[in-house]
Structure 1
């Protein structure tokens, strides 16, 4: 491909931070999971090692194996070539393989401390906080009003998507770390907040956002209106659920999808989801939306509810108005703008609003004077501390509804902050040991670049609701997961972003053979004057002179690591370098968190010149 001689190229210097950021799946994960690492292990058939690596930084790995929103997949650079890796499906295979193997999970060696921490809420954020503090030796007790752990995952996600065994697996492993759980315990009823303050050295509030936000339209009081969070709680706890034949769900998130599919399993014959924006603005992933539509749910886009219509005090339908998309709002998405004269009615006998959820702060003592704004407790974003001494907060309780993995990431950071607070220090001295390993003979797996994304098998429609018993239908799994051969094939598609092409300028003779052999056309020889450089690179180029020279550049984001350039170079000027990093504290403890995780924990500083 010819290069415009007037085109400029932004070149970024390479340092440890850039190398870590370059592994984009791991960077996108809120808990810093080494996705690339466990994919590569799975590709080699080293399933138990892959499971251990996937579990290592993730307190809720089993739940994530089924219902993680998978930001790693959206970041996966394989998606720029064809389709991203099915990272969540591979994690599920590893989790299920481990469970079926009977191999016990190894527990870390814990040095006990005397400080006690109370954690309110056994959802993803609370479990993450408890796990990280327990590993650091703190005596943790988790309080929850529900009969089991899991929080929103337990009462908000249907069992046909998230088997209860996965929740139990995560809770069980955290319990083995010495964490005590007190279920069926409501703060303010069974135990007061003041009692917790007197007994514990610190309190972490991770009570989630499980209160429905009511619709501000007429008809909300009619019989047949039930809010999504309450509807799913009843269904998940085995309580009676009343659903008519024609159901309208208002909303476009995961709760709306779950409510629609749960309605079908409880006997509804017509289910419609009404969303005020377009399909492309939905926050759910395409797989979840696809399964929802495959089961017969009708999507009504660009529609906002105006009024819930009634007859004899029962729901009879919903009046909507059509929208067009206007300018972006505070969320960055284009705001829906009603179109005058475009109203229409959808018949219904059940309406389930699933537009948003809020935190319940009623258990907080008024005398403590928590700083609360718009229904959320305010915290210092750097320390997760509230304005009440010794009390911290995290997860959906602070941020509003997020995802499973985001809440877990929030909980981990809150645990780091509590650790610093109780230990009386601001940081931990950690040496970041970066290791670059040359690999002239690096070979990518056979067919890695042409293998298509492996289909994740699902149950046929006729088998998803096989019974007249709603409970049977509700617990019949839809997704079946990979067989070992499919997991290996899918993992083989990984581009191994921890490998990077390195040019040795002293050996290179600018013959251009590497550019000629590159199948993706990502290597170019350009005039040195076409460089736009950052950091120390301009000084380096100045030292050698800007005029009359040529340089080799690589579009790293499009490189598929085939190593043909390494093999083609006649002067061994190109190598494939494997990036490794370990962090070791001043007391000799090995930190296994990712580089980014260590930065967030206050362990190491951010290196300059990051992408």
Structure 2
């Protein structure tokens, strides 16, 4: 079976300009011209689509290969080096790596996130892999405001590099949105607690129930610490601003989830509307909306429905979460806008909706909406949960001199350095970008840690982009790591031999994540996803194409015999005449090649190659080889 070519942009890499001493019969002399790339570091980086798509640049092929080999500790170490909280991200990441995975061009993408979870669940105890912290500059202290994913990631790095770190959290429990916004049936609380304990183990002081700007002034922080990071998240729910929104029975998504996660909703202490036995309608199509709907099912709602502006295919929520919601009986009405909340005697009885023709958000977050005239219709509901997004709740912080806000109400920072207008004050995460995803917040926290380290080392005027948490963070010329040394970076060709490969690219189905049956899901605290067994994980890992491997040719030994072209199951190798190379004048060696009696340019459609190694095996002069290239970019 061949890959679905229409899904990818052709990426053609020149393998060799080959000289022929006589007429070369297999050179394709007619046809369109092609631009060929010689393959530099940026080119090979883009070959590993999953790693390039990951906000923290996790070396996905490497940890998958380690799982296939049965080295689960090393697989976990590769993960933790980049995304720092694998137990959390393997459960709540939105999986951009899987959207980019080239395996999906054949059948289904690799189950990258499920494999990450397997490594995290099966690792040895992490304390066995931690290195002692050597404080570099004992008198330098930093404050981090907010203990969500961005704040925790920044605190972990900064403490690991030797700074004294104090973490300020306004809530009475650490973890931010991880603790109060995501239900425990998706993210068991023990993993959030473990992440906080890892931070505390590095000497970070966590101060709970302290609202910066009220109990502690921002000016005090700036005076007491050498640098401050604002990572306060986005905890203020957005309103529909339609008639009836303040009626009894209407609640907003984040307050609802706070109550659910605090235990009140399930124990009769909830100050929000009663859910059990009621018809619930959730407005919104994102992660919080799905969480509200699925939580309502577990709280005993009679029926749960959702309406959203988007089509089902473009809803912001993870497609997997959408499918799970429907499995649990939740009905989704896409392309619907809310015109008003219908009430009777001050209590909600339904929502008037209109069909959506089109919509878009302006850069400052305003909605431009076009609805179908005359499409008004009412969906009955006794409880309406509005979960259409959130914004930062900066409160008194927004009045601090040097802290500017954007038109969307987020904190304004330099996009490269994450610095605010006040020296020593940085900001990262949802309070800067608006609500994104957990892995984006972790990446932002790690970038902020780098920016603060640069500042504290006197690199005040730097405008260099912050790309890497390891960049410039050295002690005595050696990079510090929270983990013991990892296995050698290069992977051997044995890695390809261990893959599950069928004849001519036969489909090998992705292994689904085992889950609880529906009748066992009606518990807010019981995790729905069960995780892979070792056999399932290793078999899934063997589906990986290992895109870090690349084909190379020694031009001097190539005879243009065409065997590699003929044997390639994906038809991704070609030999063309030199005059069909559109950018030939830009390629080294082409001017000399044009003087040869005959010859051809051998190239590969990079995105289509499945690393099956058949071209290497069949090559008569043994001029082809498959070689692993380890990407040098560090976790960001």
Matches within 5 A, 1:67-146: 67-98=92-123, 104-107=128-131, 109-113=133-137, 114-146=139-171
Superposed CA deviations along residues 495-526 of structure 1, whole A, max 9, x for unmatched, are: 11111000111111110000111111111111
Residue equivalent to 1:389: 423
Distance in 1 separating the partners of 2:155 and 2:359:
44
Residue equivalent to 1:26: 51
Matches within 5 A, 1:377-416: 377-416=411-450
Q: Is the 8 A contact 1:66 1:162 kept in 2?
A: yes
User: Could you tell me how far 1:187 is from its partner in structure 2?
Assistant: 1.4
RMSD: 2.7
Matches within 5 A, 1:163-562: 163-239=188-264, 240-241=269-270, 242-244=273-275, 245-325=278-358, 337-364=370-397, 366=399, 368-374=401-407, 375-425=409-459, 426=462, 443-448=496-501, 450-465=507-522, 473-533=523-583, 537-545=586-594, 548-562=598-612
The 1:436/1:575 distance shift into structure 2, 3 A limit, reads farther
- Which SS does the other structure have where 1:570 is aligned? coil
Distance in 1 separating the partners of 2:369 and 2:151:
35
Matches within 5 A, 1:559-570: 559-570=609-620
The 1:525/1:155 distance shift into structure 2, 3 A limit, reads same
Distance in 1 separating the partners of 2:134 and 2:315:
43
Distance in 2 separating the partners of 1:137 and 1:250:
46
Distance in 1 separating the partners of 2:586 and 2:320:
44
Distance in 2 separating the partners of 1:7 and 1:209:
52
Match of 1:56 among 74, 81, 86: 81
Considering Cα pairs closer than 8 Å and 6+ residues apart, tell me whether 1 or 2 has the greater RCO.
2
Distance in 2 separating the partners of 1:438 and 1:33:
16
Q: Is the 8 A contact 1:228 1:256 kept in 2?
A: yes
The 1:76/1:564 distance shift into structure 2, 3 A limit, reads same
User: Could you tell me how far 1:347 is from its partner in structure 2?
Assistant: 0.5
User: Could you tell me how far 1:18 is from its partner in structure 2?
Assistant: 2.1
Q: Is the 8 A contact 2:402 2:420 kept in 1?
A: no
Distance in 2 separating the partners of 1:531 and 1:171:
56
Distance in 1 separating the partners of 2:361 and 2:370:
11
Residue equivalent to 2:622: 572
The 1:364/1:553 distance shift into structure 2, 3 A limit, reads same
Aligned residues: 574
Q: Is the 8 A contact 2:280 2:305 kept in 1?
A: yes
Q: Is the 8 A contact 1:156 1:232 kept in 2?
A: yes
Residue equivalent to 1:605: none
When normalised by structure 2's length, the TM-score is: 0.85
The 1:484/1:331 distance shift into structure 2, 3 A limit, reads farther
- Which SS does the other structure have where 1:529 is aligned? helix
Distance in 2 separating the partners of 1:326 and 1:207:
30
User: Could you tell me how far 1:29 is from its partner in structure 2?
Assistant: 1.0
The 1:102/1:181 distance shift into structure 2, 3 A limit, reads closer
User: Could you tell me how far 1:183 is from its partner in structure 2?
Assistant: 1.5
Distance in 2 separating the partners of 1:440 and 1:478:
38
- Which SS does the other structure have where 1:217 is aligned? coil
Distance in 2 separating the partners of 1:72 and 1:381:
23
Residue equivalent to 2:16: none
The 1:522/1:367 distance shift into structure 2, 3 A limit, reads closer
Superposed CA deviations along residues 452-506 of structure 1, whole A, max 9, x for unmatched, are: 10111000001111xxxxxxx1101111010110010111111111110001111
Distance in 1 separating the partners of 2:419 and 2:499:
51
Superposed CA deviations along residues 364-389 of structure 1, whole A, max 9, x for unmatched, are: 16352521123111111111111122
Q: Is the 8 A contact 2:147 2:168 kept in 1?
A: yes
User: Could you tell me how far 1:446 is from its partner in structure 2?
Assistant: 4.7
User: Could you tell me how far 1:451 is from its partner in structure 2?
Assistant: 2.7
Superposed CA deviations along residues 114-136 of structure 1, whole A, max 9, x for unmatched, are: 21110000001111111121222
- Report which stretch shifted further, 116-125 or 380-389: 380-389
The 1:325/1:549 distance shift into structure 2, 3 A limit, reads farther
Distance in 2 separating the partners of 1:420 and 1:478:
43
Superposed CA deviations along residues 282-327 of structure 1, whole A, max 9, x for unmatched, are: 1222211100000000000111000001111111100001112378
User: Could you tell me how far 1:5 is from its partner in structure 2?
Assistant: 2.4
User: Could you tell me how far 1:62 is from its partner in structure 2?
Assistant: 1.6
Q: Is the 8 A contact 1:13 1:537 kept in 2?
A: no
Distance in 2 separating the partners of 1:73 and 1:561:
18
Superposed CA deviations along residues 18-69 of structure 1, whole A, max 9, x for unmatched, are: 2223211111111111111111000011111111111112122221011111
Residue equivalent to 1:11: 36
Distance in 2 separating the partners of 1:509 and 1:442:
29
Distance in 1 separating the partners of 2:283 and 2:316:
14
The 1:44/1:192 distance shift into structure 2, 3 A limit, reads same
Superposed CA deviations along residues 555-600 of structure 1, whole A, max 9, x for unmatched, are: 111111111110100111100011125xxxxxxxxxxxx5164xx6
Distance in 2 separating the partners of 1:504 and 1:320:
65
The 1:552/1:414 distance shift into structure 2, 3 A limit, reads same
Distance in 2 separating the partners of 1:441 and 1:195:
58
Distance in 1 separating the partners of 2:426 and 2:126:
38
Q: Is the 8 A contact 1:41 1:49 kept in 2?
A: yes
Q: Is the 8 A contact 1:445 1:492 kept in 2?
A: yes
User: Could you tell me how far 1:17 is from its partner in structure 2?
Assistant: 2.6
Q: Is the 8 A contact 2:183 2:261 kept in 1?
A: yes
Distance in 2 separating the partners of 1:440 and 1:545:
36
- Which SS does the other structure have where 1:372 is aligned? coil
